[in-house]
Amino acid sequence: MRKSLIKISTGLALATIVFSGSVLAGEEAVMNGDIANGKKIFTEGKGAAVACMTCHGPTGWGMDAMGAPRLANIGYPYVVKQLTDLAEGRRTPSGAGAVMPVFAQALTPQDRRDVAAYVNSLPIDGPPELSDLNEIKASGQPVGQRYLGEVLVKYGVLGKVSACQSCHGYNGRGAAPIFPVIGQQKYTYLVNQLHNWREASRTNDPYGMMRAIAKNLTDDDILNAAAFLALAPRTTAGNSRVPDTTH
């Protein structure tokens, strides 16, 4: 009976998160962007906003050297939310990303939806442009242990932190429309954002969920999780289905 109650409580908690996330996504969950206009902004820029591809690459897979994240197919509502938060002052990045609020402010709300629609239309059926962890390590940056990161991503640590895949899906492949793809995200970006969540210098996470998780992570935990996620395959063994991130 006790086990049943635990299962029911867990299920209700997850249902509450899913429902609340859906409400937060609002109309952002419905992809209503103009892909053609989004491509134009992504490749050519608009006004004060330079071409997105300048930092995020022509294929939208990001650049570790710039600390720029992968945008391709990480989830339409997530990209809309981030651009909106940047434009409206709810997210203020540091480093190279400090220019993003200015760029986002140069775009209309429809422009942001258009860019999000375009990057979510980019094909990912070819070889993924993954982070080169050996190159990153050779540059002097610390790189974590992938096998230790896999434990955190898949299982978490009892009494310390829940598994990343509890919200972000198997190997971080995303759970649209609420949770973005974090698998095969750029290593440097993952490390930076986990530090930002832990330090609360980034605070635009719904209900503070990421801050609550990150505050329990050590520096090594962050490096390990990022090392696994950056190279994590999107599918399980024997299952070639790629999850849909457009909804």
Please state the domain extents for the chain. Answer: 31-119, 133-231
Residue 159: alpha-carbon gap to chain centroid = 25
Regarding predicted confidence, which is higher, 108 or 5?
108
pLDDT for res 240:
60
| Residue 15: pLDDT band with limits 50, 70, 90 | very low
- Do 31-119 and 133-231 show the same overall fold? yes
Average pLDDT of span 46-65: 97
CATH class (in words) of the domain with range 133-231: mainly alpha
pLDDT for res 6:
34
pLDDT > 90: percent of the chain: 78
pLDDT for res 75:
95
pLDDT for res 3:
40
Could you say which DSSP state residue 213 is in?
Answer: H
Does the pLDDT at position 247 exceed 60?
no
Neighbouring CB atoms inside 10 A of 88's CB total 12
Homologous superfamily of domain range 31-119: Cytochrome c-like domain (1.10.760.10)
pLDDT for res 245:
55
How far is the C-alpha of 190 from the C-alpha of 121, rounded, in Å?
22
State the greatest distance between any 2 C-alpha atoms of the chain, in Å, as a whole number: 62
Does the pLDDT at position 1 exceed 90?
no
